[in-house]
Structure 1
């Protein structure tokens, strides 16, 4: 309440004084300088009420050797009072104070995303004690390893791991996801999210300032205060422009002997709209991105992201799901169905620790098959595995495991399509084939197309085999493929693209791709809600593991930079028109200040358009029927 009165109190009081003065018959023409009465006293008091904070700010700026906009207004108001133009003095100070108050209010609105994050921070938790009792405690009383209980409709107080229970958690404040995420034992949860259904028992890992939410708040706060290169330039320009206006007005006053003209030039020359046009756009753009689960490191990176024309993206875990899945089951013997073949292969693989074995077992269970483990098995390096399944010898792997040399044409065909295909043999004879592959993400095709629609070239860089990379590239339609790379090779690619004049964004996991991420113009981390380190190190972090957020982020950056340019144009045009109006006659000090404040509010209003939600539900386009992500042949 106190801060509200401090912002609006002087505006209200000075405004009321001006209204009373006008009712009492105050002169607004500036021609009646003979008589002096109550209306004039009210105008003077209104000037002092509205102007003392402006004058004090000007003095404080002068102490650090800075000529501020407040000084221009103060000189103009004092000059108007010396000329006994009480109305002009009161109007200029009142309008400037009103503009400042409205500016603060609207800037607070643009920072609403940060306020929402701060408001989302929990303060208490329900702790489960060793004796089975529960108690409500302050967050600072918790320690890592404590168990907390979260009931339906309650807020998750800590970052942690679900010990038991099931429920849907609204993670919109963290990831920007509108649909609640299903949580069960082993799932990660984040402080500040809400349990919309169910009951969860959580082991605390990150508490208070160590939570992901706290790191996001810190990151957004720093980012909104970070200056873009354009903003830094405008501030340097303003430092020279403002004293330049004062010198220009002084020269005009001396040449024309028209003090009022000189004072009017001071007012219309205020670069307020020009100075605020950049920071308000940056704050709004970064705030909107934060609400949609995209963290941008600051204004400089926002500007750079708007210029990105090439994206180098890692394949595994970014364009693909990052773990093998069963893709094909084929029968080579009419006596055995696909389910028979898959069950034999899965049972044999229960004795294997190979990642491909897990894919086959999961594929069998997804079909509803009961996979019982085997006891006798012989893994054979580089070839596969042999196992005793109900007294029969089942082999899964290459043709070398079989007694007779089977026709390998189908195996080779599947391998060419980027899959790892294996024979399933029974007592030395091939009866079927199973194949696994790292499947393409459901949203990758949409993301690549949206990037290309924005004029961004997509380069896939991977350490995987060339045939596998080519297969994924064919499915997604990327512009260029680089395969069989070492981490340092990705760095070389980024440097090559930059040397050719490209502005490069690198998307990776932040570990093997660190050199390339650091060298790229914009380093992008995905799924950063699960990696606090990524929040701190990436130039741009996608909190949700949603690839289409990448083109959205670049689109938002372009809109923000476009808004900055539009605001600069508006500010310069208004100053030029006002200057022309003064030279041609008709623009007074009060009119100049009114138009000046209107231009400030206009650029703020334009910037606030960025706060409108434009993120659509992440579209997912199913891959064509012949791609790696296809369903298992029925």
Structure 2
């Protein structure tokens, strides 16, 4: 039933009950008792009819539902002329259904917010630079759309002209706008908060990242946890058991009202709703925080994770070499001058590390003017003419005199690639580059440790490089120089030791280990539709600390499920005791039953509270020391 229908049924039934009471208070003639009974019967029929339909539909698929218990109890109460009990039971059940539906809709708000954020039109830029407002289905990949300040970005695409700040909270959960420049990716459903952008469409409508997220969250919220599946099987036997037990008690005691009361209080409503409402709330909260969890089963597994295996390159590190050190070996050359000479020479190089040196010089405001007279020496470095001086960047073999290599070796031991900078055959300085550690990796490792999770770094990189990164970040174990099958073996080894393993990787060479892990985690999934569809947990933003948040939220959700199950079982036991020792009627039993349902839902809704508190990015002490140097 629609929400307005459920509230309408409960409202009309409640009004008829009030009219029944009023008829006995306002009139004292012989007709008033009959009128009061008629109103009560009408209230029971109005509230009970939808319940009876639901019970019949369940019976058609050979399922004995909770609704059937209520219908039998209500009809039985009518037959023994207990009209108030019949009306009260059906009214309270209908009211409970309406409140339950309303609160479930509240828990699904994260999904409805995503659906509401989906754009419907776009401003298409024509060949003559004129604009046309079109429906999304009228766009094709490759079309150019214009997005002005304050407008919603209608498509996935790449910025071709313009710059601005984009609010990507609906996709990544990030609160601060992301700066976009030509070449940057943008996503449908996000908002341009400053600037003007021209965007080339790559994903439209159902092909957009937003649509894939909505689809994933819908599937995840409907996915059943193992505990939920068990409880559904349990209730399939429990509900018929309640009916048989009530019938046996009625036959033994010859007390029909007692048997009907047992039917009502035996309803496992709170037990059945305790799991799905918790899963919906937990997955919904995670989605709003930029974490997609594949479903209830994976939510339960994530709560058990006690070890995380994490790749190094592109996960703990940026995956992009950066300048780390500049040292002077000659007092007549400052570190800035050494870096500038090295950068100028490297403008003629095609080596991957050259870009790190050039970028480092540019960040310090030094000249990176191109040189044209240069020669690359394979395996050794580059020699270039810079303003009439012969500048060499590379190994000692490029120099006329063999310099002291102690500092080079010390830097190499730290996992860096160090190179001499020579002027006219004489070493004057050293520059070093390395794959820089992400600024949030240290806080991520600390957050995982606080959650009681062991962190193992598994990488194909050289052992000395891996050990240095592991020491800086404080990971528990470092495994280096690994092949993809070695990472798979590590996961299996941990699982054999009884560990629940989460694997974080780039999804390429880590694919076997990701598939074998209990939980496969993709990071920065907003730009990867495949990761959104396949990862057990997808961190939409490129932020590793979100993994600790996801695990903590999963643990809170599972704890909520356990609390709710306990409340449901205790309620049934207390009500049974109340019936056996007297004092609990059908209406009281239904009232307590519905109160327990609402309590269970209310506790689950606490999961919707925002709890994501990310620490500011923190560099390790070694990294700080390098920057200060």
What is the TM-score of this pair, normalised by structure 1? 0.97
Does structure 2 retain, via aligned residues, the 8 Å contact 1:546–1:618?
A: no
Give the secondary structure class of the aligned counterpart of 1:197: coil
Does structure 1 retain, via aligned residues, the 8 Å contact 2:442–2:618?
A: yes
Cα distance in 1, alignment partners of residues 428 and 9 from structure 2: 89
| TM-superposition CA deviations, 1:286-340 (whole Å, max 9, x none) | 0000000000000000000000000000001111111111111111111111121
| TM-superposition CA deviations, 1:90-131 (whole Å, max 9, x none) | 000000000001100000000000000000000000010001
| TM-superposition CA deviations, 1:256-309 (whole Å, max 9, x none) | 110000000000000000000000000000000000000000000000000000
Q: What is the aligned partner in structure 2 of residue 9 from structure 1?
A: 8
Cα distance in 2, alignment partners of residues 617 and 453 from structure 1: 13
| TM-superposition CA deviations, 1:507-541 (whole Å, max 9, x none) | 00111111100000000000000111100010000
Give the secondary structure class of the aligned counterpart of 1:132: coil
Q: What is the aligned partner in structure 2 of residue 428 from structure 1?
A: 425
Does structure 2 retain, via aligned residues, the 8 Å contact 1:330–1:338?
A: yes
Q: What is the aligned partner in structure 2 of residue 79 from structure 1?
A: 76
Q: Which moves more between the two structures, 378-387 or 426-435?
A: 378-387
| TM-superposition CA deviations, 1:571-621 (whole Å, max 9, x none) | 000000000000000000000000000000110000000000011144322
Q: What is the aligned partner in structure 2 of residue 69 from structure 1?
A: 66
Does structure 1 retain, via aligned residues, the 8 Å contact 2:3–2:98?
A: no
Cα distance in 2, alignment partners of residues 622 and 373 from structure 1: 33
Q: What is the aligned partner in structure 1 of residue 524 from structure 2?
A: 527
Cα distance in 2, alignment partners of residues 618 and 295 from structure 1: 21
Structure 1 position 195 matched with structure 2 position 192:
yes
Structure 1 position 479 matched with structure 2 position 476:
yes
Cα distance in 2, alignment partners of residues 633 and 611 from structure 1: 42
| TM-superposition CA deviations, 1:76-102 (whole Å, max 9, x none) | 000000000000000000000000011
Q: What is the aligned partner in structure 2 of residue 501 from structure 1?
A: 498
Does structure 2 retain, via aligned residues, the 8 Å contact 1:166–1:183?
A: yes
| Residue 37 to residue 450, structure 1, CA distance change in 2 (3 Å) | same
Give the secondary structure class of the aligned counterpart of 2:514: helix
Structure 1 position 288 matched with structure 2 position 285:
yes
Q: What is the aligned partner in structure 2 of residue 312 from structure 1?
A: 309
Q: What is the aligned partner in structure 1 of residue 537 from structure 2?
A: 540
Give the secondary structure class of the aligned counterpart of 1:93: helix
Residue 148 of structure 2, aligned match among 147, 151, 158:
151
Does structure 2 retain, via aligned residues, the 8 Å contact 1:329–1:633?
A: no
Q: CA deviation at 1:402?
A: 1.0
Q: Which moves more between the two structures, 2-11 or 595-604?
A: 2-11
Runs of 4+ displaced beyond 2 Å: 2-5, 33-36, 629-634
Cα distance in 1, alignment partners of residues 266 and 32 from structure 2: 32
Q: CA deviation at 1:369?
A: 1.1
Q: What is the aligned partner in structure 2 of residue 279 from structure 1?
A: 276
Cα distance in 1, alignment partners of residues 68 and 3 from structure 2: 25
Q: What is the aligned partner in structure 1 of residue 88 from structure 2?
A: 91
Give the secondary structure class of the aligned counterpart of 2:502: strand
Residue 560 of structure 1, aligned match among 553, 557, 561:
557
| TM-superposition CA deviations, 1:337-384 (whole Å, max 9, x none) | 112111111111111111110000001111111211111222122211
| Residue 249 to residue 34, structure 1, CA distance change in 2 (3 Å) | farther
Q: What is the aligned partner in structure 2 of residue 217 from structure 1?
A: 214
Q: What is the aligned partner in structure 2 of residue 184 from structure 1?
A: 181
Give the secondary structure class of the aligned counterpart of 1:512: coil
Does structure 1 retain, via aligned residues, the 8 Å contact 2:456–2:478?
A: yes
Structure 1 position 142 matched with structure 2 position 133:
no
Give the secondary structure class of the aligned counterpart of 1:473: helix
| TM-superposition CA deviations, 1:221-258 (whole Å, max 9, x none) | 00000000000000000000000000000000000110
Give the secondary structure class of the aligned counterpart of 1:606: helix
> What is the aligned residue count?
626
Give the secondary structure class of the aligned counterpart of 2:482: coil
The runs of 5 or more residues in structure 2 that have no matched partner are none
| TM-superposition CA deviations, 1:33-59 (whole Å, max 9, x none) | 999510001101111001011111111
* Residue correspondence of structure 1 range 293-304 to structure 2 within 5 A: 293-304=290-301
Q: What is the aligned partner in structure 1 of residue 159 from structure 2?
A: 162
Structure 1 position 571 matched with structure 2 position 591:
no
What is the TM-score of this pair, normalised by structure 2? 0.98
Cα distance in 1, alignment partners of residues 625 and 238 from structure 2: 63
Give the secondary structure class of the aligned counterpart of 1:191: coil
Give the secondary structure class of the aligned counterpart of 2:163: strand
* Residue correspondence of structure 1 range 224-263 to structure 2 within 5 A: 224-263=221-260
Give the secondary structure class of the aligned counterpart of 1:285: helix
Q: What is the aligned partner in structure 2 of residue 30 from structure 1?
A: none
Residue 121 of structure 2, aligned match among 121, 124, 130:
124
Q: What is the aligned partner in structure 1 of residue 596 from structure 2?
A: 599
RMSD over equivalenced CA pairs, Å = 1.5
| TM-superposition CA deviations, 1:419-442 (whole Å, max 9, x none) | 111000111110110001111111
| Residue 3 to residue 275, structure 1, CA distance change in 2 (3 Å) | closer
Give the secondary structure class of the aligned counterpart of 2:560: helix
Cα distance in 1, alignment partners of residues 255 and 31 from structure 2: 20
| Residue 159 to residue 630, structure 1, CA distance change in 2 (3 Å) | farther
